[in-house]
Amino acid sequence: QKEVEQDPGPLSVPEGAIVSLNCTYSNSAFQYFMWYRQYSRKGPELLMYTYSSGNKEDGRFTAQVDKSSKYISLFIRDSQPSDSATYLCAMSDGSSNTGKLIFGQGTTLQVKP
Amino acid sequence: GAVVSQHPSRVICKSGTSVKIECRSLDFQATTMFWYRQFPKQSLMLMATSNEGSKATYEQGVEKDKFLINHASLTLSTLTVTSAHPEDSSFYICSASPLRNQETQYFGPGTRLLVL
């Protein structure tokens, strides 16, 4: 079993839809959670960074962390064709001092106009 | 803020030659830099972790003599692919962790290497 599981999709939605992207994980020591967006042939871009449980909102994006269920989500409201990309969740426990992140496989999202 | 650059963005080389890729944090100092490799439609594969002034830590299965990493300063790390072969063709991406927030990473735009 992988430490972080993420459905690779692809996920196709119409423009304006609410998108829900999710990851589950097995390591209860994870405390830092991130979502990255990666366009084709580009490096990943940090979208959201969350420490421990709770919600964080930034514009059309909301990140949720439920540590009791080992489940994190990224919601995109009013999705746009420009949101079409691969979304990677990443997490770390912060205790190893290596700074290494554990990534999900990435979910490919397509927003159709 | 938190911009990371990579150079070159694309490189084509002949088999047997060496290729150097630079990774720079432009507006912050990085305690640690990471080098990843990514194959089409796959997630990132961590190759090595480098800290300024010390030897890089390589992941299992990554040849340290093949992929030379030099972390000369808090803003610059280089990856040299030595004696490149066609199977080394890939997308190489670096990332950097800021001193102020060592739990996250900011990524460069990537370097596409094609070995003929």
Tens of pLDDT, residue by residue over A28-61, are 999 999 999 999 989 999 999 998 888 999 999 9
CA of A46 vs chain B CAs: smallest distance (Å): 7
Can the peptide bond before residue B8 be classed as cis, meaning omega within 30 degrees of 0? Answer: yes
- Average pLDDT of chain B, as a whole number: 93
Three-class SS of residue A76?
strand
Q: Is the pLDDT of residue A95 over 80?
A: no
* Digit-coded pLDDT (tens) for B60-113: 999 999 999 999 899 999 999 999 999 999 999 999 998 888 888 999 999 999
Structure tokens at A84: 């079409």
How far apart (Å, rounded) are the C-alpha atoms in residues A91 and B95? 15
The confidence score (pLDDT) of residue A75 equals 98
B100 vs chain A: nearest CA distance in angstroms?
A: 13
Position A26 pLDDT exceeds 80: yes
Angstrom distance (rounded) from CA A4 to CA A22: 10
* CA nearest neighbour of A104 among A50, A11, A33: A33
Interface test with B, best of A2, A30, A41 (most B CBs within 10 A): A41
**Residue pair B4/B95 in contact by the 8 Å Cβ criterion:** yes
**Is the pLDDT score of B37 beyond 90?**
yes
Q: What SS3 class is residue B112?
A: strand
Distance CA B94, CA B113 (A): 14
Closest-approach residue (CA) in chain A for B98: A99
Does residue B24 register a pLDDT over 80?
yes
> What is the percent of chain B where pLDDT is above 90?
80
> Do the chains contact at B43 and A88, CB–CB below 8 Å?
yes
> Residues 44..63 of A with a Cβ closer than 8 Å to B: which?
44-46, 49, 51
Predicted local confidence at residue A60, as pLDDT:
97
When CB atoms are compared, the residue of A46, A99, A106 closest to B102 is A99
Average pLDDT, chain A: 93
Predicted local confidence at residue A97, as pLDDT: 61
